[in-house]
Amino acid sequence: MHTDVVRQGRLRGDRDGSIEDLLSSMTADREIAEADIEVDIAHLLMLVSCGILTSDHASPLIRELLFYYKNGVPKEAFHPRFEDIHAGIESLLIEKVGMDTGGRMHAGRSRNDEVATCLRIKTREILLDQIEALIDLRTVLVDTASEHVHSIMPGFTHLQHAQPTTLAHYLLAYEEVFSRDNERLYQAFLRTNRSPLGAAAFATTGFPIDRGYTARLLGFESISCNTMDAVASRDFAAESLAAATILMTHISRLCEELVIWSTSFVRFVDLDDRYCSTSSIMPQKKNPDVAEILRSRAGSVLGALVSAVSIEKSLPLSYNRDLQELSPHLFREIIPVSRDIRLVSGMIASAGFHTDRMREEAERGFSTATDLADHLVVNYGLAFRAAHNIVGRAIRSGSLSLEALDDASCQLTGRKLSEQGLSGDELSRVLEVNQSVAARRHPGGPAPAAVLDAVLHRKSVIGKDTAMIQEQKERIMVAKEELMDTAERMVGS
C-alpha cells in the first residue's frame, strides 16, 4: 500500500472519508499531471545547476520522471490516499529510489509555486489551442465570404428588415468579432506565460536557486516577479475564463442566427446533417442540435467565470487553500472551447446557403427606403428630415409608388415630386437592391469592391496572427525539447 510520505509530519490522526474527499484535488489534477512531470524535471536540473543537489541524487529521480513522461503518469499516483498529483508523484519516487534520494527533490520549492506553475503551463496550452481553432474559423468565414460577394441578403435591426447587404458582409462581420476574441486570448496567454516556480510558499527560499533557468526550461517568457503575488493570484485563470466567456457569447449569437435561419419560415441555410438530429416521434424533423447546444455554452462558461472570481475575491495574501476549488471550474469550461470553435467552423464550411431566398427577403419590408430618402436629398434639394418624412408617410400608406410619394410630398411641401422631375423609371432604379448595396462602397461596407478589399485585408491579418501563434508554439516546443534533452544527458540515456 502506498503511503503519502509527503504529508507525514507534524499532524497525526486518521481522517474520515468526507474530509479526504473535500481536500482532494485529484479530479482537476489529471489535467496537470504531465505539466507536473515537466516542472519536477526542470526543478531538479536547476538544483544540480546551482549546486544544491548532486547529479548522483538527481539522476535516479530524473530517470523515473522521464519514464513517466514517455509512458504516462502511473495510475498509482492518482490513488485516493494522496491529496493531489504532486504528492502522489513525489511519494512514488521516494518509494522507488528511497527517502535519502527522493526526499531531496522538493528542496527550494513549495507545493504552492509547483501548483501555480503547472496551472499556467496547462492553461497556456489550452489558450494556444483555442487561438489556433479561432484562426481556422476566421479563415472559413473569410473564404466563404469570398464566394458570396454578390449574394444579396436582408440586413436586420431589432430583427426587422432594415437595409440590403450581402452574405459576404455578414460573414466578415463575425470574422472581425472573432479577430478581437483572438486578441483577447493572446493577451491572456502573454500574462499566463510567466513562471511562478521558485516563489516557494510565498517568500521564495534561502537556497541559491535560479528562477530564470527553470522559466527558460519550461518555455515561459519571464518569471512572475513578486513571489507573494506569484502563488496567491489566479487572475490569469479568471482572464482566460473571461476571454472564453466573451468568445462563447459571440458563438452563441452566431448559433442563434443559424437556428433562426434554418427554420422553415426563414430558409436561409441548410445545415449539414452531421450537425442536426431528428425527432424521436416526428420523422420529418431536422433539429439544429449542435447549434443549440453551442448557443447554451456561453452560460456554462460564464458560470465558471463567476465561480472563479467569487472564490478569489475575498482571499487575503498570500496562498489560501480556497484556490484549489478554482481549478475544476477553470478546466471544466475552457478545455471544451476549442472543440466548440471547431464545430462552428464545420457548420459554416458545410452549410448550404439559399441565396435566392435571401435575395427574395432583401426586397421585402421597404429595405431600400433610406436610399430613396438620400436620393431625394441629393437630387431634389430636400432636407433629409423632410425626405425621411415623405418616404415614411408613403410607406405608412402601404406603397413606395410614385403616386404615394406625390401624395406624401403634397401633404408636407405642397408640391408633387413628379412635378419636380421624379419618374417611375428613376424610382425603380433607386429602389433596386443591387443599386443600394453597390452604393455602400466605403471601407467596411457591403459593396462588392469594399468587400473584396476587406477579404484581402482580413486574410493578411489572419496570416500575421498565424505566424505569431506559430512562433509562440515553436518557442515552447524548443524549450521542452531542451528540457528533455538536458534531462536525457544527465541520466546518460
The CATH number given to whatever domain includes residue 38 is: 1.10.275.10
Of the two residues 444 and 18, the one the predictor is more confident about is 444
Compute the distance between CA of residue 253 and CA of residue 255 in angstroms, rounded to an integer.
Answer: 5
pLDDT mean over 466-481: 97
- Do 343 and 242 have their domain in common? yes
- Do 104 and 127 have their domain in common? no
The model's pLDDT over 161-184, given as tens digits with 9 standing for 90+, comes to 999 999 999 999 999 999 999 999
The model's pLDDT over 192-222, given as tens digits with 9 standing for 90+, comes to 999 999 999 999 999 999 999 999 999 999 9
- Do 181 and 261 have their domain in common? yes
SS (H, E, C) 405-440: HHHHHHHHHCCCCHHHCCCHHHHHHHHCHHHHHHHC
Where a domain ends, among 413, 431, 449?
A: 431
Query: What total of structural domains would you count in the chain?
Result: 3
Q: Report if residue 141 sits inside a domain.
A: yes
The model's pLDDT over 27-43, given as tens digits with 9 standing for 90+, comes to 778 899 999 999 999 99
- Do 396 and 487 have their domain in common? no
Q: Report if residue 446 sits inside a domain.
A: no
Q: Which of 18, 158, 264, 442 is catalytic?
A: 158
Mapped onto helix, strand or coil, the DSSP state of residue 152 is strand
Residue pair 380/173 in contact by the 8 Å Cβ criterion: no
Residue 428 has, within 13 A of its CA and on its CB side, a CA count of: 3
Q: Report if residue 328 sits inside a domain.
A: yes
pLDDT mean over 138-150: 98
- Do 253 and 285 have their domain in common? yes
- Do 77 and 181 have their domain in common? no
- Do 330 and 381 have their domain in common? no
Compute the distance between CA of residue 475 and CA of residue 189 in angstroms, rounded to an integer.
Answer: 14
Q: Report if residue 389 sits inside a domain.
A: yes
Compute the distance between CA of residue 381 and CA of residue 280 in angstroms, rounded to an integer.
Answer: 63
Q: Report if residue 153 sits inside a domain.
A: no
Give rounded-to-5 percent helix, strand, coil for the chain. Answer: 70, 5, 30
- Do 234 and 136 have their domain in common? yes
Distance from first CA to last CA of the chain, Å, rounded? Answer: 31
Q: What pLDDT is recorded for position 2? A: 46
- Do 250 and 345 have their domain in common? yes
Compute the distance between CA of residue 487 and CA of residue 493 in angstroms, rounded to an integer.
Answer: 9
Residue 279 bears catalytic tag = yes
Residue pair 46/221 in contact by the 8 Å Cβ criterion: no
- Do 340 and 404 have their domain in common? no
Compute the distance between CA of residue 29 and CA of residue 487 in angstroms, rounded to an integer.
Answer: 24
Of the two residues 25 and 286, the one the predictor is more confident about is 286
Q: Calculate ∠ Cα 91-220-206, nearest 5°.
A: 55
The model's pLDDT over 344-400, given as tens digits with 9 standing for 90+, comes to 999 999 999 999 999 999 999 999 999 999 999 999 999 999 999 999 999 999 999
For 23, the domain range is 5-109+480-491
Compute the distance between CA of residue 243 and CA of residue 122 in angstroms, rounded to an integer.
Answer: 16
- Do 414 and 328 have their domain in common? no
Alpha helices in 103-234 (DSSP H): 111-146, 167-192, 211-217, 227-232
Compute the distance between CA of residue 427 and CA of residue 430 in angstroms, rounded to an integer.
Answer: 5
Residue 375 bears catalytic tag = no
Q: Report if residue 341 sits inside a domain.
A: yes
Compute the distance between CA of residue 133 and CA of residue 111 in angstroms, rounded to an integer.
Answer: 33
- Do 130 and 252 have their domain in common? yes
Q: Which of 222, 277, 279, 423 is catalytic?
A: 279
Q: What does the longest C-alpha to C-alpha distance in the chain come to?
A: 105
Q: Report if residue 451 sits inside a domain.
A: no
The CATH number given to whatever domain includes residue 282 is: 1.20.200.10
Quick one: cell of 257? 442566427
Of the two residues 36 and 86, the one the predictor is more confident about is 36
Mean pLDDT of the chain: 93
Q: Report if residue 453 sits inside a domain.
A: no
With CA atoms as reference, report the closest residue to 422 among 436, 440, 404: 404
